[in-house]
Structure 1
Amino acid sequence: MKRFFMQRKNLIVSAILILCLILSTLAFAQQEQDENQQKVKNVILMIPDGMTIAHTTLSRWYQGGEPLSMDEIACGLVKTYSANNPITDSAPAATAYATGYKTQNRYISIYPEMVSMPGVGQVEEKDFYKPIVTILEAAKKVGKSTGLVFTCQFPHATPAAFASHTDNRNDYESIAEQMVYNQVDVVLGGGYKYIDKNQRKDKEDLAGYLKQNGFFVTTSWQEAKNFSGKKIWGLFAQDAMHYDFDRNGTGEPSLAEMTQKALQILSKNRNGFFLMVEGSEIDWASHANDPVGVVSEVLAFDKAVKVALDFAKSRDDTAVIIASDHANGGMSLGNYTTKYDTALLNDFLAYITKAKRTGAGIEEHLGNNKTDENIKKIVSEYYGINDLTSDEINAIKNAKAGNLNYVLGPIISKRSNIGWTSNGHTGEEVVLYAYHPNGYIPRGVIDNTEICDYMAEILGIDLGSFNENAYISNIDLEEKGYDVSIDTINPSNVQLVINKGSKTYIIPQNKNVVLEGSNQYKLKYVSVYIPSAKRFFVSSEIESLIKLP
């Protein structure tokens, strides 16, 4: 009898073990299935630079209360502070989205040396200024196509953060060169002069380099629209493009049209793509406190959102993430003089709905004809304002070139019950919007770095592994025994020089090449020089090329 019960007990134990094994296998299979459902092939990141809730509310009112395309996918809030400031500028804000790391103001996709905000980890001194591999660079390395669409000039902070590395966001020439050598597949926006050898200070023929490497380069939207290849740089203005309300007659495409074209080209890659689309000039209108510019650019951005969402919803492999990089202007609907219990909607919209151009567009139209009568005529015709004061007329007359929107914006705001607290950025959270074919989206209040983490996760990209050994500095090389020097004779073309025996290896900044005599080798990443720290960072496989014994 005892033997019978022992056999029965063993059978029960075996059955339990088998059941546990089956359940574990099923759980693992379910987890694997869930993870596969989270993965997508394509990611579209959309950044309405400087946009806040007040911006979207005013834009909704402008179009009769109709919802914006982005409204249906609102899902949370994003914290925007940088590594060293409660209020970020666009460079570290875009860096957080591009790399998953916070850096300090003015820095683009490099580690900070100053960290003072709570919860931001301090970087080791040896990694100060080191370039951080971006989601775009990693996507390209795993065989995906990459794209940037914007209305600013392409070396501006937000697009720059995805394809360049520097401690000076205003060094447009170096940034442009890095972005060109990073060979982003599709670049559509403004800034042709930064690749034109006749307009660059260093006379580098970046347009020629692109053409030699199989890119179609054009300043014509008609040519870009008819392009049927896979690699294009379409730069439709010498510098920044016009505000959307001012675009008529310029030949420039809308943000929605450029987004549509980018998706058409990038979707040819079976491995998928990463695309960043920026509504660049929402930010600029906010700096100027220009509500007409705000409405112009928010609605233009929202049309691009519709293009992206229509594309994503027509397939099962594309996610769309939308988040401003920061707030701007402290815009409010209602100001100190507003009697909110009696104010009607028309009290906010009367002049804005009549507006035919932004302040920047009015400046072009006025030209040098700034007589009192012409100012009154133009402002009446384009804004419906017929009661300009003498102080306002004089302010328009005396506005610095390129800054008339800073005068006209407040004139319209005052008459429209719209308040502003600043001509600069502000530090509050911004709205998060997200679409995923299987509903796997971030929710709640998240950090801006988590946007990058999320994109990397759903694309199946391990950014940490890319960053682990991506770059080595001149200091690291010296410590390893290399004969290294930095040649700064030509400040526009600083070079890292490595001597080994009878051979000399020359590595120019902002490029991804090594020169040794008549030989030229290509590196994985562009080389980066940080003048303030006298640090030169180069792609780490330089060691295998030199082969130090």
Structure 2
Amino acid sequence: MYLLLYQVLLFISIVSGKRDIEAEKKPSFWKDNAKKELEAALDAQRLNTNVAKNVIIFLGDGMGISTVTAGRILKGQLRGESGEETKLTMETLPHAALSKTYSANAQVSDSAATATAFLCGVKSNWYTLGVNAATVYDNCESTKGNGVESVLVDSYKAGKSAGVVTTTRIQHATPGATYAHAPNREWYGDADLTEEAKQNGCKDIALQFYEASDMITVALGGGRKYMQPENTTDYEYPKMSNSRKDGKDLIQMWKNKMTSSGFEPKFVWNKKEFDDVDVESTDRLLGLFEPSDMHYDAERSKDGEGEPSIAEMTSKAIQMLQKNDKGYFLLVEGGRIDHGHHSGNAYLSLHDVVAFDNAIAEALRMTSQEDTMIIVTADHSHVFTIGGKSIRGNNIFGLQPDVSNPVNALDNKPYTTLIYANGPGFHGEYFVNAMGYNEPIIKNGSSREDLTNVNTTAPDYLQQSAIPLDSETHGGEDVAIFASGPMAHLFHGVHEQSYIAYVMRYASCVGPDQGHCMKEDDIGRIEYLGSSISVSTANSTLRIQFIFLIILSVVIFILLLLLIRNSLNSKRKANYKESGKAPDVPLSTRP
């Protein structure tokens, strides 16, 4: 009910269009607005303690709070609104908290260690994936016996279906944490393994995906080149070779494996094939739409063969997974939010936030809050800020305080609302280095670029940064958790990031903690005298037994008294008979 009320408020804000400037001048506007929010907040106090049949976790990679705010404004401005008053779909979820993102050995963490935390429930070391903190980075030998299992694995063991959706490659840090164990997150394919790794028997992440694919009903993202031999070329780009050195075609091996297991598999690599998938007749679905990461959403239309949006992939995944009556676990990652920030390009990053939010809306439309827990969070933040003195409704990518009338800083040059603390946009000039990063050009004695005649709203513009780096860095502050559905109220304050995994397990009754399952809805049952009965039935039976025992004890006590009395009377009669005297009147007949 509470989520429905929030969704109604969101719908009203959408259809109302641009803000009513005159109405906002009246105190009654804000009073009425607060009253609606208060009603929704009070309704949210009706806690949903159901068991989560399904769990969907949406992970906005690098989606810190400043990114959420800027994404909110952009989404509103794309609808013709000023933007500040807009609500993202994720912000309509009734429960919210903060997550502490540090890792076992890093104040500011990376996506592998953070994914291990929120998917496996264990904080690990920087750049390590699906292992505990005893594992040393890039050291294969140290991983032995130190792997940790994810909520996806626990869900599969409980009979549920599982899926992974990402806009990066499926071997990347976040999706990889659901099934892989590696001391180096960048061991995407066997070509990336070190000699030490090969000698000690470590496997690349793509191979681990194949080996774990029995557990995964649907996987959608990028990463084709890590799955096929280097002597073959890509489906879409015939001049690009694949990268496996062991000669294995993991895609064909996946098809064979699924078929031999009795499943009807489907592999797709472009939009048309994706759209043509018949969900009812397909048991397993693998979609790899790019050799590496998928396109940014703002550039998706440039793909000649076409790519599905993250919302479309989410919809297809849910359709595949909901065929299992026992429920499912689904990870959906908006992974290129992070990549846009690393490139110093807020335009690409924030448009991916909007696309990511659309996927959340699609999931809410397709599921019920009564049996589906939905979590939206981030693995870490970025050194990305919203500042200046911008007026209401100013273009989020524009100069401040007003695009049409910018105000200069002390160096007599204008600046934008959005700025990075570090990154490639240092002086405004950069080149693409051998690693594919935007490396800033540093000139001795050069000063900040004059933005007077620069189009800062262009898709390829890089926001200025205070420190020159070829890749902007993560931020170390806490990130938001938004949640709805069964047990979502367990997100309520400031939590360790590893806590998220335990809430998902507890809410959905997978893994070792089954306490939430012991209730009358027959999810938790007790074996009693050879029969399986619900807890409430067992309680009623025990109460009846207790009452029966009390009654039985009273009856036995009365019978004992009668036996004692009769025994005493018999002894008196015997004594009188021996003495020749007449017996007295029995005790029970005396007046």
Q: TM-score, normalised by structure 2?
A: 0.59
Counterpart for residue 69 of structure 1: 89
Are 1:37 and 2:49 matched, yes or no? yes
1:230 to 276, 280, 283: 283
Counterpart for residue 370 of structure 1: none
The Cα offsets for residues 308-335 of structure 1, whole Å up to 9 and x where unpaired, read as 222233x62111011100112x11112x
Secondary structure of residue in 2 paired with 1:301: helix
Give the superposition deviation at 1:105: 0.7
Are 1:86 and 2:107 matched, yes or no? yes
Counterpart for residue 118 of structure 1: none
Counterpart for residue 54 of structure 1: 66
Verify the 8 A CA contact 2:134 2:142 in the aligned structure 1: no
Secondary structure of residue in 2 paired with 1:182: helix
- For 1:517-528, list aligned pairs within 5 A: none
Distance (Å, rounded) in 2 between the aligned partners of 1:399 and 1:448: 34
Counterpart for residue 316 of structure 1: 370
Are 1:171 and 2:187 matched, yes or no? yes
Counterpart for residue 327 of structure 2: 272
Distance (Å, rounded) in 2 between the aligned partners of 1:51 and 1:420: 19
The Cα offsets for residues 103-153 of structure 1, whole Å up to 9 and x where unpaired, read as 1011111122279xxxxxxxxx99876111111112112211110000111
Per the alignment, do residues 453 and 438 of structure 1 end up closer, same or farther by CA in structure 2, a change over 3 Å counting? closer
1:208 to 209, 227, 252: 252
Give the superposition deviation at 1:463: 4.5
- For 1:218-367, list aligned pairs within 5 A: 218-227=268-277, 228=279, 229-250=282-303, 251-313=306-368, 316-328=370-382, 330-334=383-387, 338=388, 340=389, 345-346=393-394, 348-350=396-398
Distance (Å, rounded) in 2 between the aligned partners of 1:429 and 1:455: 20
Residue type matched to 1:164 in 2? A
Verify the 8 A CA contact 1:113 1:129 in the aligned structure 2: no
Give the alignment's Cα RMSD to 1 decimal: 3.2
Tell me the percent identity.
33
Are 1:451 and 2:495 matched, yes or no? no
Distance (Å, rounded) in 1 between the aligned partners of 2:133 and 2:466: 29
Counterpart for residue 23 of structure 2: none
2:219 to 183, 187, 190: 187
The Cα offsets for residues 348-374 of structure 1, whole Å up to 9 and x where unpaired, read as 44489xxxxxxxxxxxxxxxxxxxxxx
Verify the 8 A CA contact 1:191 1:240 in the aligned structure 2: yes
Distance (Å, rounded) in 1 between the aligned partners of 2:475 and 2:101: 10
Verify the 8 A CA contact 2:487 2:507 in the aligned structure 1: no
Distance (Å, rounded) in 2 between the aligned partners of 1:427 and 1:392: 25
Give the superposition deviation at 1:405: 5.7
Give the superposition deviation at 1:37: 3.4
Distance (Å, rounded) in 2 between the aligned partners of 1:453 and 1:421: 39
Distance (Å, rounded) in 2 between the aligned partners of 1:284 and 1:257: 21
2:433 to 382, 386, 400: 400
Counterpart for residue 154 of structure 2: 138
Distance (Å, rounded) in 1 between the aligned partners of 2:143 and 2:269: 39
The Cα offsets for residues 70-102 of structure 1, whole Å up to 9 and x where unpaired, read as 011251100011011111111110001111111
Moved more, 134-143 or 162-171: 134-143
Secondary structure of residue in 1 paired with 2:206: helix
Q: TM-score, normalised by structure 1?
A: 0.63
Which structure 2 segments of 5+ residues have no match? Answer: 1-45, 78-82, 190-203, 233-241, 259-264, 401-425, 442-447, 515-591
Verify the 8 A CA contact 1:177 1:206 in the aligned structure 2: yes
Give the superposition deviation at 1:461: 1.2
Verify the 8 A CA contact 1:259 1:307 in the aligned structure 2: yes
Verify the 8 A CA contact 1:333 1:418 in the aligned structure 2: no
Secondary structure of residue in 2 paired with 1:188: strand
Distance (Å, rounded) in 2 between the aligned partners of 1:392 and 1:111: 41
Distance (Å, rounded) in 1 between the aligned partners of 2:398 and 2:361: 27
The Cα offsets for residues 293-322 of structure 1, whole Å up to 9 and x where unpaired, read as 121111111011111222233x62111011
Alignment size in residue pairs: 375
Per the alignment, do residues 213 and 403 of structure 1 end up closer, same or farther by CA in structure 2, a change over 3 Å counting? closer
Counterpart for residue 462 of structure 1: 511
Distance (Å, rounded) in 2 between the aligned partners of 1:98 and 1:226: 32
